[in-house]
Amino acid sequence: MSRKFFVGGNWKMNGDKKSLTDLIQTMNGAKTDPNVEVVCGAPSIYLDFTRSNLDAKFGVAAQNCYKVPKGAFTGEISPAMIKDCEVNWVILGHSERRHVFGESDELIGQKTAHALESGLGVIACIGEKLDEREGGITEKVVFAQTKVIADNVKDWSKVVLAYEPVWAIGTGKTASPQQAQEVHEKLREWLKTNVSESVANSVRIIYGGSVTGATCKELASQKDVDGFLVGGASLKPEFIEIINAKM
């Protein structure tokens, strides 16, 4: 079964109207592979601005949301608000949310369930820290994270799994294509055993962690790598190269 290649750009807490206008104009004017689904994760304050200016062929994602539609939750945004800005995706469980802001697996699961029920697509992030990889428990960690997500998903067609080894995010260290493929393959086996064979074959598992124009082509050639979640490079013109990694 062919899985449509998916490239997400996570802008994190970066950009202003001037720099984002430049980036959006670059993307709108670029020749990009029509067989790739592209989604840009904008800071919440710029979601409306990004969706209004970015070509409709590109999707937009929020970088986080809360687990209920509205209420007394100062500083939070809900899937209902995200959808009201005509934005159709949200990134959940990013390692910075887990490790900088202390979000638990349980909370990420609840957010995933509510976002999906609200009709958003979810880019669900999982990944191990350096001490966990060196301790030989990568699989244990990512399977536990995946289980909490899987327990909260009814419709897998709206979910993209993003494997991001925490030790490779923003460090310039990239998992080798073989390391990435090995974890992606094991994740697919886990889905086959614990969810279903059809989900395992159809769900897109993308890789994140210092993906650049230089590393993207070899990573993209791996059998179980279905795309990327790109951090720093998504703010630069080289993001176009990454989108076109399969061309």
Active site residues: 94, 164
CB 183 within 8 A of CB 126: no
Q: Per 3-state DSSP, what percentage of the chain is helix, strand, and coil (rounded to 5)?
A: 45, 15, 40
- Nearest by Cα to 67 from 119, 121, 115: 115
Whole-angstrom Cα distance, residue 32 to residue 206? 18
CB 199 within 8 A of CB 191: yes
Distance, in Å, from the CA atom of 178 to the CA atom of 222, rounded to the nearest integer, reads 8
d(CA 94, CA 141): 14
Phi, psi (5° rounding) for residue 52?
-70, -25
